[in-house]
Amino acid sequence: MKKITVEVGKTENNYSAHIIVGDGICVATGKTFNEIKEQMEEALAFHLEGMKEDGDEIPAEFSGKYELVYKFNTESILYYYNGIFTNAALERLTGINQRQLQRYASGKSIPKSTQIKRIEKALHNLGQELISVNLN
């Protein structure tokens, strides 16, 4: 199955996502990640249908089965999870100072690639840990 990357970013009021499709672009907005996913799936289906109707060639990556993979930038993922994780919790997970994490989440600072990897690794580790939990 082909994996298609959808870039997700933060706007002033919500989140935006985009994907390049041939010579065009599909965009979606939403207040939540689920809204982004729903809107992107609808926008992409609409775009591909329009390409078919216009007789345009459908890009190879969209023929057959494909999976949309959502790639958040650091600002948008930290902002998105701001109501779920405190900066103190993120500091414990990542080893990055709370004030610095807040600067990344607000867009006042752009993290270096090493910091991005630390944040990503910490979130992935937490996800793996949570997946392994079973409750009685």
Residues 37 and 23 in one domain: yes
Which CATH number do you get for residue 99? 1.10.260
**Span 68-72, mean pLDDT?**
93
Query: At CA 38, angle to CA 113 and CA 116, rounded to 5?
Result: 10
Residues 68 and 7 in one domain: yes
Q: What is the residue whose two structure tokens read 């390409």? A: 51
- Is there a domain that residue 117 lies in? yes
* Structural domain that includes position 117: 74-131
Using a 10 angstrom Cβ sphere, with 0-12 exposed, 13-18 middle and 19 or more buried, the burial of residue 41 is middle
Listed in sequence order, the residues at least 6 apart from 85 whose beta carbon sits closer than 8 Å to its beta carbon are: 93
**Residue range 4-63, pLDDT digits in tens:** 999 999 888 889 999 988 777 899 999 988 999 999 999 999 999 999 999 998 898 888
What's the pTM value of the predicted model, to 2 decimals? 0.79
Structural domains of the chain, count: 2
Q: What is the pLDDT of residue 7?
A: 94
**Residue range 88-129, pLDDT digits in tens:** 999 999 999 999 999 998 889 999 999 999 999 999 999 999
Residues 66 and 109 in one domain: no
- Is there a domain that residue 113 lies in? yes
Which CATH number do you get for residue 14? 3.30.160.250
